[in-house]
Amino acid sequence: MKILITGGAGFIGSHLSVELQKQGHEVTVIDILSPQIHGKNPEDSPLFRSIKDKVNFVRSDIRNKEILSPLIEKTEVVIHLVAETGTGQSMYEIERYTNVNVVGLACLLDCLANTPNHVKKLVLSSSRAVYGEGKYQCEKDGFIYPDARKIEHLKQGIFEILCPKCGDKARCVPTDEQSELKPQSLYALNKRTQEELVSFISETIGIPSILLRYQNVYGPGQSLTNPYTGILSIFSTQLRLGNDLNIFEDGQESRDFVYIDDVVNATILACMDKTFTCQTYNVGSGERQTVLQIAELLKTAYQSKSKITVSGNFRIGDIRHNIANISAIKKNLNFFPRVSFKEGITKYVDWVKGEDLNDNQYQKSLEEMKKRGLLQ
């Protein structure tokens, strides 16, 4: 098929582009090559080099409809990956995030609605961030979908979710697609808006769509210089630089990490799906790891002498736990994670060890958040 991938030179996009090309599809990528992802010399970045000469590449802003419309005319499947990511940064770069994430998608949908085309499927990369804290269970009151944790509780070291009805500690359970959506950052709000736009417009113009709520994606190729890219890359760079690690809260906050190859597989399955309605699926491993476990594992893997400190600091907008219910995508798309966390983290660490060591400006990003009252 002829497939257009917006943001196809990024971490997920580059892996996806290469795999689709291997499978015989004609892939076109449109990407602006953001310096935050690709560095000061974007065309020399490993991500871009991985797709160079393998796909039809167009360097452009997604909001340039004069360039986007002709690409859509020749396309059968559109995979929309363009996004500014990072919950913390989104809280103060409001215009940039909303322009790229919401206006950028609106431009794409405008082109789909007004350009003669043969598009059969639209796949949107969404995020588990739309759930906020997600799904919990209280022994007394059953399933709950909590609001953001109260700052006064966080200051007191009360990090776990409390039932809003009885005040007892609630238990994290896998979050399914029918769970309430309660975004806790501008990035998450952008993603929910993206989902609403695609769901509404795709039905209006008659193009089936699938919304994929990615969990914490990791693997070789993930930026080691972007301080907003995720804790695996952040911790890896800090440990290799010999910097101590400051673990927020009590270190027991947890995330569902899903390996890049599994994310690529899930996305391709979504492209090939024959369903003619809008569908939404979680893409994750269905398991979770604590932040402290991750830090200690990486310290051992890199043979680092850095000190790990659990500080009790916290960031506004962070969630407590995250684990995905992936029963729907298993049933309907026959998706099953193939890479265990143990195998995936080994591959990731081996890759990191072969990369150049550069400061990812993580400390600078923390100072910026602290100055704005987002880190306490």
- Residues with a catalytic annotation lie at 187
Q: DSSP letter at 76?
A: S
Up-side HSE of residue 279: CA atoms within 13 Å toward CB?
21
Q: Please report the beta strands in 249-324, taking only residues with DSSP state E, as ranges in sequence order.
A: 254-255, 257-259, 279-283, 289-290, 308-310
Cα dihedral across residues 226, 229, 230, 233: positive or negative: negative
Provide CB contacts within 8 A for 59, sequence distance 6+. 30, 31, 32, 33
- As a whole number of angstroms, the distance between CA 357 and CA 74 comes to 41
- As a whole number of angstroms, the distance between CA 107 and CA 113 comes to 10
Please give the single-letter amino acid code of residue 357.
Answer: L
- As a whole number of angstroms, the distance between CA 98 and CA 103 comes to 7
- As a whole number of angstroms, the distance between CA 212 and CA 196 comes to 13
